[in-house]
Amino acid sequence: MDKFDSNYLLELARQRSAASRSELAAIISDLFSGEEHVLTERERILMYEIIHHVVRDAEMEIRKVISSRLADREDPPEDLINLLANDEIEVAYPILTESKVLRDQTLIEIVRNRTLEHQMAVAIRHTVSPEVSEALVKTGNETAIRTLLQNENADLSEATMEFLIEQSQRIDSFHEPILRRKELGPEMAKRMYLWVSAALRKYIVDHCGLSLAEIDDLMESTVMAKVDDAINKDESKSAKLAKKLKRQGEINPDLMIRALEDGEVRFFVNLVSEETGLRDDLVMRFVLEPGGEGLAVACKAMAFSDYEYQRVFTFCRKSRPTQSEGTEKSIAEAVKFFRHVDRDSAEEVVRRWRRDKNYLSALRDLDMI
């Protein structure tokens, strides 16, 4: 279109035929491309009035063209942009992901009232304010929340981060994106250490400003604080029985598994302690910690098979007072770690644990975490 002809455009807008609407969309596309014609202020205002007039009744393909042309512009009227942002996702997507005209309150209302696809589009915007991020998190939609966490340009408040860290105890897919967030502080990372995978524990140590000693102290205080609630208080009887079985050479993986299967956590701890020479409180830590690394090393040193370790790990997960039953994924990861550990290295770590209380350093030095 060589010249802006407002009368012609208004006539096209009044017509209801598909052909007239398609022609109007093509003209709008050309005019806003900026290649052949620069709109005056009056022409621009008139064009937006025409668009607003037709957009409600226009076909999907036409609305999509209009949306794509207006998404990166800063001059469209707010009510027109809001209208497009609340349209079907095929129309709304470029507006939701790119438009700077949208206000936070509009985005929050869209997040609350529109579809998952609308939420996902908001979550990947070039900028996402703490208020909009909070609204996305409050939807409880794990896919949208994970997308938000992966957006480096999104801003999350401390309260939102604290909430997501708590949620990450049960939602594994939050672990890695949370740990890579700029808002994550050392204290937050330290708390997550208690339930993330071995690979992410290594990431925390390497990238989050925490020493092995700090984390070891945390594990000791947090895990061992639950021991009294997790075990049978009458230690003497099971400890004496374990010593007797050790003298008779009758301690074996099957006996340990049966103890766990029967819910005899204390007896299992006594058996492992007698067989490995490790103190009871350290073995109880193996039972209660989420990743199963210490348990894997002890079982490897005792020559457990993959299957035997899997059963032990599964029963230990069930015995924890505040942890849910392990998922297939977590069990598979634990078995993978067990297979990665060779027996000579496991025996060396166990020997060090008999002499040295520094639990994590022994694993770290032998490249086990």
Q: Tell me what pLDDT residue 237 has.
A: 84
Provide the residue ranges of all domains of the chain, joining segments of one domain with +: 1-102, 228-365
Q: Tell me what pLDDT residue 327 has.
A: 57
First to last CA, the chain: 66
CA neighbor of 43 nearest in space, from 56, 55, 28, 58: 28
For residues 110 and 122, is the Cβ–Cβ distance under 8 A? Answer: yes
Q: Tell me what pLDDT residue 230 has.
A: 45
- Cα of 348 vs its chain's centroid, Å: 35
Identify the segments of the chain with pLDDT beneath 70.
1-7, 9-10, 12-18, 21, 29-40, 43, 53-54, 57-58, 198, 212-213, 215-235, 319-329, 356-369
pLDDT digits (tens, 9 = 90+) for 132-166: 999 999 999 999 999 999 999 999 999 999 999 99
Q: Tell me what pLDDT residue 364 has.
A: 62
Distance from C-alpha of 16 to C-alpha of 34, rounded to nearest angstrom = 27
CA neighbor of 176 nearest in space, from 157, 142, 149, 145: 149
**Would you say the pTM of this structure is higher than 0.85?**
no
Give the Å distances, CA to CA, from 326 to 169, 170, 336.
12, 10, 15
Collect all residues with Cβ–Cβ distance below 8 Å to 140 and sequence separation of at least 6: none
pLDDT digits (tens, 9 = 90+) for 17-46: 667 767 777 777 666 665 545 666 776 777
Q: Tell me what pLDDT residue 222 has.
A: 59
